[in-house]
Amino acid sequence: VKLNWKIQRDMEERGHSLESIMASIEARKPDFDAYIEPQKEFSDYVIEVLPTDLDKEDKKTLKVRAIQKKGIADFNPTYLFDEGSEVTWTPSADKLSSPAPGMKLKYTQEQYFGNDVAV
């Protein structure tokens, strides 16, 4: 998802070629894999940006997950609804400016790298 966004931005706004963008990304990938990706396991809060689940043909709409580790001292988590609740809500497409299926809000309790989290 971020790759597609970066390619689009760098080509349209910065005038870079696809080849130069891909070379830049590939050059940084080993550092990402070694230093960034492993930090997710130890993070108290992770924001994931993923392709949407609502429409498999839609390449522009994103799914965003805010993952909050539970039981962290001096960390006041944010709750979409009440602490510990689980809710899924899909508003009526008639009330949205985007085409159906529009959007979906979900708040749930999960395990992430073996930790209890609110998503």
Give the residue carrying structure tokens 């830049």: 24
Per residue in 51-102, pLDDT (tens digit) is 887 777 777 777 889 999 999 998 887 887 788 889 988 888 788 777 776 7
User: In angstroms, rounded to a whole number, what is the distance separating the alpha carbons of residues 16 and 36?
Assistant: 25
Per residue in 18-64, pLDDT (tens digit) is 999 999 989 999 999 999 999 999 999 999 988 887 777 777 777 88
pLDDT (0 to 100) of residue 42: 93
Q: Helix crossing, 18-31 with 2-12: angle to 10°? A: 140
pLDDT (0 to 100) of residue 84: 85
Record the pTM. 0.73
User: For 22, left (φ over 0), alpha (ψ -120 to 50), or beta?
Assistant: alpha
pLDDT band of residue 110 (cuts 50, 70, 90) is very high
